[in-house]
Structure 1
Amino acid sequence: MAALAWLLIPVAAAVIAVVWGSWAARSRKSGDVAELAGYARFREAMERQDSGSRVP
């Protein structure tokens, strides 16, 4: 029984590696559109005038 356990450990590790590899190599369909829109909003917010709410 111990020999079977020693055989199952590398097999389970190989299965986990295959699942992780396929997940890591998946194609992401979201693209850069959402990220670019968020960056544009960030730039617009940084370019706005100061509201004058600072305390000296």
Structure 2
Amino acid sequence: MAVLAWLLIPLFAAIGAAIWGGWASRSRTTEDVAELAGYARFRDAMEKSRTGGGPVG
């Protein structure tokens, strides 16, 4: 029985590593798109304030 336990430890470690690897390499493009869109809006607002575009509204 002890031999079986020592064989299961690497098996569980490999399964855990595969799960973690899949989680770590997941696609996060949706968060990046929203963040880049917010940065573009910020840049536009700063450009308007620098050129004297006046208050918004």
- Give the TM-score of the pair, scaled to structure 1: 0.57
Which string of whole-angstrom CA distances, capped at 9 and with x for unpartnered residues, describes residues 14-53 of structure 1? 0000111111111224142321344456675xxx8xxxxx
Query: Which structure is higher in helix share?
Result: 2
> Which residue pairs with 1:35 in the alignment?
35
Aligned residues: percent identity?
69
Structure with greater contact order relative to length (CA < 8 Å, sep ≥ 6): 2
Aligned length: 48
2: CA distance between counterparts of 1:38 and 1:2?
Answer: 57
Structure 1 segments unaligned to the other structure (5+ residues):
49-56
- Give the TM-score of the pair, scaled to structure 2: 0.57
Structure 2 segments unaligned to the other structure (5+ residues):
50-57
